[in-house]
């Protein structure tokens, strides 16, 4: 911290000794530093490439051009920031719900769009294109304002990275489905970061505006700026706070060199660097550096999982559920109930609709017809993150761990976004305890991608348990295990039920169902064909026929 | 003759198949039985070139096929009808069948093969211009099998062809499979409907957690309690 | 009559959009490459046509014979040298899309940069068949009509090839389901390369035709790319008829806005239309289809 303060002081003192060309260079570096870091604030963790930097930069600059003679400077800055945020929210609300690639395309043309709109306004309302800026702001003052912005964006970035918002954005970048099922409101997270990023970009544009004495939309909405910022951030590494800075300094110097000596080759060089990034440096220069180990407090002894309150009646109740995909009816008039504290098996031959049922319960899919209630509260149609906050957690048929995080961080995600979230040192201690409980003691710091398949399943379970669910949905969690692992897995699931969690278990491993499930719902072709204790149900002729087939038509 | 020896496939760190060995000759139906997740689909995908095996040998008539890309496996004479049919839903029945004959080995006999397919599945004849995904499950299955037959395969791999079919359609399907065998094609049939596939098969293999745990004549397997246990499980003792 | 004016001019513009969108449909639908440098090749082709006309007095219609095959070869090379490493590296189609966006973004700058070095930043245009003619009570230049005719002819030829030939159907199969395509002995990698090259040839054809009546400079590529992307997405990715209709709609809509509201708002109108369609029907006006 002291080192940073000294550095800032040194940088602030720079204009006292430098002037002219060098000061201009300093301004250039600072303004790209703010833009690139602000860009990485959103696009880094979420992995959504925004090509709209200059749209917000231009908005800031143009606001100054329009308002600088009528309002005091600080009010103008505030206005610039506010308009930038408003536009970001508008754009975000419309496009962030679409798939990532549509977002990129939309931002690709956004600055062109805004340029056209501003031009239209100037021509038709203002009746003249181009404005003069007679602000008496010195180069030094611009420099210091940019420095203040740079400090601010780094502080905000640092705070965000350590906050739940930052964690949520990284989870979204890794796997948005997991994010939603962990209780993260993905749309709101993305919008917030996008707006904050846009705020800094607009303020930068506003601060820089007095450098041009004459502004018109073509000058200020120059798409090249968006691309330069993306290059710098990607080259330096958008995943690390100081990464973009690593890209800014060399590139500003390189651009100076180029525009002095080879102005016509600027574009080609940009293109080549882009391709280098894609092929050789997908995580930027910062991505080549070894990851720093997170500091750790001593683990506290394992705490037993909280007892769920005993509830009379059913915990989960499904009535006449129906879900069709085009012409294929996956779930057809299905009704069943899970009592609190029981293990309900959901079984059936391939294609019978079991995973679809889990998806309907967890909110990954919405039912066409029918009702679902959890503890009496209707949950059909609620988003996955709301259902997660009500106390439902699940694992997935194809295991989903968060690639960019360690095992410990994966589990912390489960703690951070549940109804009463747990954060900080206590969350870490509880996470370590959970890892031990599922059999991953000592593997807390391993990157999730380096775990074995079985361990990844355990990690997914730990993450689900971290949200302290009332209802746990296990989608073929015991599949692919050898007999020893199966025995351990069965014991673990049973211990979970004994601590009060209600479990719905989709399985093909019949040994597991027979020893775990209190009751079984057997599905075939989307319908329920049996409901009862496993031993009884598997002796029913219709069930046997569903699995093994009949010899005759 | 399709010969598989010591085939191993791993998804990341998870061993889906370990040392699997089996063979399928022309003119016979071999059933592959086992519970879900046992590795049946992985085996078919490995033979068809859709997943890369870690080791083993796959050969057809002595020719080594291991790790060939899918389109070359078809050229060699093995056709896969994947789970879920894998037809081109947006194209017509006729286009699907025509594409089936895309392989060079299939061009010469295309007209004859199309005749055979239509004889096998008369229902398709009236539906040549219909968009495939608008057809019923059973009809789509016919398109999928017909398309595979258009490549004039020596060996046909089928992954759960009866999935989602009504009992009546199942009957038609299995009758068609018997006809295909009679025409000299070898079939490796992965089927949920164990009873039915054993009724039509000559031989069978039982697979459990990626390994072959049983094999023999179909009639013997049909009464083997191990098969029932593999699907429906048995009590195991776990300390409570 | 104003309505006929708008309709006619809109059809010409729309025809150009539809032709270029067809090429991008091939590149994105079949090869799964989101090619942000697409418009640069259109501008490059226009510049070459200009050079051929002013330097060798070669009519752009003859120039097509030179430019289109050259563009095919060039794009084929680009796919195999630049894009194949990404294809091989990508674990899923989504990853390939993101990687290809960034890589073609770089390509955008390289192509634009080369064009800048050779031609500079000024505007170019030439007069060819710039004779006004009266159609349905409205006046239109012959070169625009010729462009529309050629675009229609080329588009029709491609459409027929894609629908009726075995290779064309194979391309459509790859767009529908690349895994199943492998199962019918289609070499998906080779088909993708061919589709990419064919798409590049189509956009070059569009560039030559457009050069007959538009004024262009090296910076215009971005706008063309955007419009092509919008048309492809609006029409439903992989849906050729959808791209055609969306292209025509966009051309007519844009012309209408330019004449009736304000020529400075055309891009805003395009974007508004784009957003509206995506919000109401996220899979495009006509959804996924292969016809």
Q: pLDDT digit string (tens) for B203-213?
A: 999 988 888 98
Q: Taking 90 as the threshold, does the pLDDT of residue C232 lie above it?
A: no
Cβ-based interface (< 8 Å): residues of C facing B: 166, 169-170, 172-173, 176-177, 179-188, 288-291
Per-domain residue ranges for chain B? Answer: 2-184+204-209
ipTM of the prediction: 0.85
This prediction has a pTM of 0.84
Q: Where does A96-216 have alpha helices with state H?
A: 100-121, 139-162, 164-174, 176-181, 186-208
**Do the chains contact at A453 and B168, CB–CB below 8 Å?**
no
Mean pLDDT on A21-30: 89
Q: Report the chain C residue with the minimal C-alpha distance to residue B72.
A: C185
Backbone angles phi, psi at B78, to 5 degrees: -120, 130
Q: Report the chain A residue with the minimal C-alpha distance to residue C98.
A: A101
pLDDT at C34: 86
Q: Taking 50 as the threshold, does the pLDDT of residue A553 lie above it?
A: no
pLDDT at A460: 94
Q: Report the chain C residue with the minimal C-alpha distance to residue A99.
A: C282
**Do the chains contact at B88 and C182, CB–CB below 8 Å?**
no
Chain A residues near residue C278 by CB distance under 8 angstroms: 98, 102
Q: Where does A305-371 have alpha helices with state H?
A: 354-362
Among A268, A285, A277, CA closest to A231: A277
Query: Which residue would you say has higher pLDDT here, A525 or C165?
Result: C165
Q: What is the DSSP letter of B136?
A: -
Between CA B152 and CA B113 the distance in angstroms is 7
Q: pLDDT digit string (tens) for A129-188?
A: 788 887 778 888 899 999 999 999 999 999 998 899 999 999 998 888 999 999 999 989
| CB-side neighbour CA atoms (13 Å) of B80 | 28
Among C284, C275, C287, C279, CA closest to C234: C284
Q: Domains of chain A, with CATH numbers?
A: 2-285 (1.10.3470), 316-548 (3.40.50.300)
Q: pLDDT digit string (tens) for B168-181?
A: 788 888 999 999 99
Cβ-based interface (< 8 Å): residues of B facing A: 11-14, 16, 35-37, 133-134, 137, 160, 162-164, 167-168, 170-171, 191-197, 199, 209, 228, 231-236, 238-240
Mean pLDDT on A376-395: 91
Q: Taking 60 as the threshold, does the pLDDT of residue A292 lie above it?
A: no
The enclosing H or E element of A131 equals strand A131-132
Q: Taking 80 as the threshold, does the pLDDT of residue A213 lie above it?
A: yes
pLDDT at A307: 42
Mean pLDDT on A460-475: 94
Across the interface, which of C166, C176, C290 has its CB nearest the CB of B102?
A: C166
Chain A: touching chains (3 or more CB pairs < 8 Å): B, C
Distance from CA of C92 to the nearest CA of B (A): 14
Query: Which residue would you say has higher pLDDT here, C278 or A213?
Result: A213
**Do the chains contact at B196 and A326, CB–CB below 8 Å?**
no
Other residues' Cβ atoms within 10 Å of the Cβ of residue C129? 17
Between positions 46 and 105 of A, the ones with CB within 8 A of C are: 47, 49, 94-95, 98, 100-102, 104-105
pLDDT at A298: 39
Between positions 102 and 121 of A, the ones with CB within 8 A of C are: 102, 104-106, 108-109, 112-113, 116-117, 119-120
Mean pLDDT on B49-76: 91
**Do the chains contact at A266 and C113, CB–CB below 8 Å?**
yes
Q: pLDDT digit string (tens) for B191-200?
A: 877 888 888 9
pLDDT at A131: 85
Query: Which residue would you say has higher pLDDT here, A528 or C274?
Result: A528
pLDDT band at A297 (very low <50, low <70, confident <90, very high): very low
Among A179, A218, A256, CA closest to A24: A256
Go through A147-184 and write b for each residue having 16 or more CB atoms within 10 A of its CB, e for each that does not: bbbbbebbebbeebbeebbbbbbbbbbbbeebbbbbbb
- Sorted by sequence, the CB contacts under 8 Å of residue B126 that are 6+ apart come out as none
Q: What is the DSSP letter of A265?
A: G
The enclosing H or E element of A261 equals helix A243-261
Between CA A527 and CA A329 the distance in angstroms is 10
Long-range contacts of C136-143 (CB under 8 A, 24+ apart): C136/C4, C136/C8, C137/C1, C137/C4, C138/C1, C138/C4, C138/C5, C138/C8, C140/C8, C140/C9, C140/C12, C141/C213, C143/C212, C143/C213
Q: Report the chain B residue with the minimal C-alpha distance to residue A486.
A: B238
What DSSP string describes A171-194? HHHH-HHHHHHTT--HHHHHHHHH
CB B98 within 8 A of CB B92: no
**Maximum mean pLDDT: which of A9-23, A299-313, C65-79:** C65-79
Chain A residues near residue B133 by CB distance under 8 angstroms: 326
Between CA B29 and CA B9 the distance in angstroms is 24
pLDDT at B234: 53
Q: pLDDT digit string (tens) for C170-212?
A: 999 998 889 999 999 999 999 999 999 999 999 999 999 999 9
Between positions 61 and 100 of B, the ones with CB within 8 A of C are: 69-72, 74-75, 79-80, 82, 86-91, 95, 98-100
Other residues' Cβ atoms within 10 Å of the Cβ of residue C219? 15
Q: Taking 50 as the threshold, does the pLDDT of residue A309 lie above it?
A: no
Across the interface, which of B75, B90, B102 has its CB nearest the CB of C170?
A: B102
Backbone angles phi, psi at B30, to 5 degrees: -115, 125
Q: pLDDT digit string (tens) for B139-161?
A: 888 999 999 999 999 999 999 88
Pairing of the two strands A392-394 and A377-378: unpaired
Between CA A32 and CA A53 the distance in angstroms is 11
Between CA B211 and CA B231 the distance in angstroms is 15
Between CA A408 and CA B176 the distance in angstroms is 55
Mutual angle of helices B225-232 and A541-548, in 10-degree steps = 100
Give me the total of CB pairs closer than 8 Å, taking one residue from chain A and one from chain B: 94
Backbone angles phi, psi at A345, to 5 degrees: -85, 140
Q: Report the chain A residue with the minimal C-alpha distance to residue B159.
A: A350
Proportion of chain C in helix, strand, coil states, percent, rounded to 5: 80, 5, 20
Task: Mutate one of B85, B99, B113 to test the C interface: name it (highest C CB count within 10 A).
Answer: B99
Task: Mutate one of A351, A401, A516 to test the B interface: name it (highest B CB count within 10 A).
Answer: A351
- Sorted by sequence, the CB contacts under 8 Å of residue B118 that are 6+ apart come out as B124, B125
Mean pLDDT on B100-116: 91
How many degrees, rounded to 5, is the angle at CA A212 between CA A208 and CA A213? 135
pLDDT above 70 as % of chain A: 94
**Maximum mean pLDDT: which of A332-341, A450-459, A542-551:** A332-341
Among C37, C81, C43, C24, CA closest to C238: C24
- Asked if A403 reaches chain C (Cβ–Cβ under 8 Å), the answer is no
- Asked if A527 reaches chain B (Cβ–Cβ under 8 Å), the answer is no
**Do the chains contact at B232 and A510, CB–CB below 8 Å?**
yes
Proportion of chain A in helix, strand, coil states, percent, rounded to 5: 60, 10, 30
Q: List Cα–Cα distances, A510 to A139, B222, B235, C33, in angstroms.
A: 76, 20, 9, 45
Across the interface, which of A94, A116, A277 has its CB nearest the CB of C264?
A: A116
Pairing of the two strands A328-338 and A343-347: unpaired
Chain A residues near residue C98 by CB distance under 8 angstroms: 47, 49, 100-101
Distance from CA of B40 to the nearest CA of A (A): 13
Between CA B20 and CA B4 the distance in angstroms is 7
Long-range contacts of A271-275 (CB under 8 A, 24+ apart): A271/C106, A271/C107, A271/C108, A271/C109, A271/C110, A271/C111, A271/C112, A271/C113, A272/C106, A272/C110, A273/A231, A273/A235, A273/C106, A274/A231, A274/C102, A274/C103, A274/C105, A274/C106, A274/C109, A275/C82, A275/C103, A275/C106, A275/C107, A275/C110
Q: What is the DSSP letter of A383?
A: -
CATH of domain B2-184+204-209: 3.40.50.300
pLDDT at C291: 62
**Do the chains contact at A515 and B191, CB–CB below 8 Å?**
no
Q: pLDDT digit string (tens) for A317-369?
A: 999 999 988 767 889 999 999 999 999 999 887 777 888 999 999 999 989 99
pLDDT at B233: 60
Between CA A238 and CA A235 the distance in angstroms is 8
Q: Taking 90 as the threshold, does the pLDDT of residue A56 lie above it?
A: yes
Give me the total of CB pairs closer than 8 Å, taking one residue from chain A and one from chain C: 111
Task: Mutate one of A401, A549, A552 to test the B interface: name it (highest B CB count within 10 A).
Answer: A549
pLDDT at B236: 34
Among A86, A45, A57, A61, CA closest to A233: A45
Q: List Cα–Cα distances, C159 to C7, C68, C152, C162, C194, in angstroms.
A: 24, 17, 10, 5, 16
pLDDT above 90 as % of chain C: 42
Mean pLDDT on C143-162: 92
Mean pLDDT on A62-86: 91
pLDDT at A308: 43
Q: pLDDT digit string (tens) for C72-121?
A: 999 999 999 999 988 888 777 777 877 888 889 889 889 999 998 899 88
Among C9, C37, C4, C11, CA closest to C23: C37
Distance from CA of A486 to the nearest CA of C (A): 30
Indicate the range of A19-23, A336-340, B77-81 predicted with least confidence. Answer: A19-23
Between CA A503 and CA A474 the distance in angstroms is 7
Q: Taking 90 as the threshold, does the pLDDT of residue B230 lie above it?
A: no
């Amino acid at each position: 911290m002291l080192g940073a303060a000294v550095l800032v002081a040194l940088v602030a003192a720079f204009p006292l000794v430098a002037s002219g060309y060098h000061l201009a260079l300093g301004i250039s570096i600072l303004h790209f530093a703010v833009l690139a870091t602000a860009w990485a604030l959103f696009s880094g963790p979420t992995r959504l490439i925004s090509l709209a930097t200059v749209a917000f930069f231009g908005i800031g600059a143009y606001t100054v051009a329009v308002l600088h003679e009528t309002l005091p400077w600080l009010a103008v800055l505030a206005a610039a920031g506010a308009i930038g945020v408003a536009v970001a929210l508008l754009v975000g609300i419309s496009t962030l719900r679409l798939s990532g690639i549509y977002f990129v395309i939309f931002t690709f043309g956004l600055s062109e769009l805004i340029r056209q709109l501003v031009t239209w306004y100037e021509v038709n309302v203002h009746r003249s294109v181009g404005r003069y800026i007679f602000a008496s702001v010195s180069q030094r003052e611009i420099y210091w304002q940019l420095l203040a912005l740079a400090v601010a964006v780094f502080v905000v970035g640092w705070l965000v990275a350590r906050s739940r918002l930052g964690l949520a954005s990284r989870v979204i970048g890794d796997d948005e489905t997991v994010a939603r099922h962990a209780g993260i409101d993905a749309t709101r997270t993305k919008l917030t970061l996008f707006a904050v990023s846009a705020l800094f970009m607009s303020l930068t544009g506003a601060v820089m505006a007095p450098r041009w004495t004459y502004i018109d939309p073509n000058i200020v909405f120059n798409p090249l700026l968006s691309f330069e910022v993306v290059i710098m951030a990607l080259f330096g590494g958008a995943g690390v706070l100081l990464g973009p800075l690593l890209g800014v300094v060399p590139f500003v110097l390189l651009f100076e060199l180029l525009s002095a000596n080879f102005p016509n080759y600027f574009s080609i060089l940009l293109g080549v660097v882009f391709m280098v990034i894609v092929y050789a440096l997908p995580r930027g220069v910062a991505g080549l550096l070894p990851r720093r180990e997170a500091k750790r407090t001593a683990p506290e002894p394992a705490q037993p999982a909280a007892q769920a309150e005993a509830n009379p009646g059913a915990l989960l109740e499904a009535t006449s559920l129906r879900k069709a995909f085009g012409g294929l009816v996956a779930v057809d008039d299905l009704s069943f109930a899970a009592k609190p504290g029981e293990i309900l098996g959901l079984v059936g031959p391939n294609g019978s609709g079991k995973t679809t049922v889990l998806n309907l319960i967890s909110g990954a899919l919405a039912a066409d017809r029918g009702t679902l209630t959890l503890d009496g509260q209707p949950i059909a149609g609620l988003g996955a993150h709301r259902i997660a906050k009500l106390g439902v957690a699940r694992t997935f048929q194809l295991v989903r761990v968060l690639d960019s995080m360690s095992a410990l961080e994966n589990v912390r995600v489960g703690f951070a976004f549940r109804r009463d979230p747990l954060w900080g040192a206590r969350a870490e201690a509880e996470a370590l305890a959970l890892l031990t409980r599922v059999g991953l003691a000592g593997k807390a710091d391993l990157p999730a991608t380096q775990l074995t398949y079985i361990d990844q399943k355990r990690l997914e379970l730990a993450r689900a348990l971290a949200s302290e669910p009332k209802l746990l949905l296990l989608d073929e969690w015991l599949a692919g295990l050898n007999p020893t692992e199966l025995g351990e897995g069965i014991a673990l699931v049973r211990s979970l039920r004994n601590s009060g969690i209600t479990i719905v278990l989709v399985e093909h491993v019949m040994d597991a169902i027979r020893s775990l499930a209190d009751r079984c719902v057997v599905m075939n072709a989307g319908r329920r064909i049996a409901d009862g204790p496993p031993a009884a149900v598997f002796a029913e002729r219709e069930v046997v026929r569903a699995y093994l087939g009949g010899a005759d038509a | 003759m399709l010969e598989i020896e010591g085939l191993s496939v791993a998804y990341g760190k998870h061993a889906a198949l370990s040392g699997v060995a089996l063979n399928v000759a022309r003119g016979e139906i071999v059933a592959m039985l086992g519970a879900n997740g046992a590795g049946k689909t992985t085996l078919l995908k490995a033979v068809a070139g859709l997943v890369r095996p870690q080791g083993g040998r796959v050969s057809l008539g002595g020719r080594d096929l291991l790790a060939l890309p899918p389109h070359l496996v078809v050229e060699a004479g093995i056709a896969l009808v994947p789970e879920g049919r894998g037809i081109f839903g947006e194209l017509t029945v006729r286009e699907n069948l025509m594409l089936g004959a895309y392989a060079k080995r299939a061009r010469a006999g295309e007209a004859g093969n199309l005749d055979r397919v239509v004889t096998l599945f008369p229902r398709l004849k009236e539906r040549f211009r219909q968009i495939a995904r608008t057809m019923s499950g059973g009809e789509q299955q016919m398109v999928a099998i017909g398309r595979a037959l258009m490549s004039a395969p020596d060996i046909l791999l089928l992954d759960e062809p009866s999935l989602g079919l009504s009992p009546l359609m199942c009957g038609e399907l299995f009758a068609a499979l018997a006809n295909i065998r009679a025409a000299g094609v070898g079939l490796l049939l992965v089927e949920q409907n164990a009873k039915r596939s054993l009724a039509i098969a000559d031989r069978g293999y039982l697979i459990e957690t990626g390994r072959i745990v049983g094999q023999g004549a179909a009639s013997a397997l049909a009464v083997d309690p191990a098969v029932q246990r593999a699907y429906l499980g048995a009590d195991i003792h776990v300390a409570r | 009559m104003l309505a006929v004016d708008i309709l006619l001019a809109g059809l010409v513009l729309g025809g150009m959009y539809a032709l270029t969108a067809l090429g991008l449909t091939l590149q994105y639908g079949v090869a799964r490459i989101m090619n942000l440098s697409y418009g640069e090749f259109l501008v490059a082709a226009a510049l070459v046509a200009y050079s051929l006309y002013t330097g060798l007095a070669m009519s752009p219609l003859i120039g097509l014979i030179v430019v289109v095959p050259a563009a095919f070869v060039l794009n084929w090379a680009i796919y195999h040298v630049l894009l194949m490493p990404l294809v091989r590296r990508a674990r899923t189609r989504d990853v390939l899309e993101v990687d290809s966006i960034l890589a073609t973004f770089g390509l955008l700058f390289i192509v634009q940069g080369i064009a800048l070095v050779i031609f500079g930043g000024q505007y170019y245009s030439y007069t060819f068949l710039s004779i006004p003619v009266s159609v349905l009570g409205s006046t239109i230049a012959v070169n625009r009509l010729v462009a529309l005719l050629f675009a229609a002819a080329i588009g029709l030829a491609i459409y027929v090839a894609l629908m009726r030939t075995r290779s064309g159907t194979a391309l459509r199969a790859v767009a529908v389901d690349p895994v199943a395509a492998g199962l019918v002995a289609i070499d998906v990698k080779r088909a993708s390369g061919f589709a990419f090259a064919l798409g590049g040839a189509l956009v070059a054809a569009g560039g030559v035709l457009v050069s007959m009546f538009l004024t262009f400079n090296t910076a215009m590529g971005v706008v063309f790319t955007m419009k092509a992307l919008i048309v492809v997405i609006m029409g439903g990715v992989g849906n050729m008829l959808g791209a055609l209709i969306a292209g025509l709609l966009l051309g007519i809509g844009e012309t209408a806005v330019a004449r009736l509201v304000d020529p400075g708002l055309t891009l805003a109108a395009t974007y508004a239309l784009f957003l509206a369609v995506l919000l109401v029907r996220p899979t495009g006006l006509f959804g996924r289809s292969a016809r």
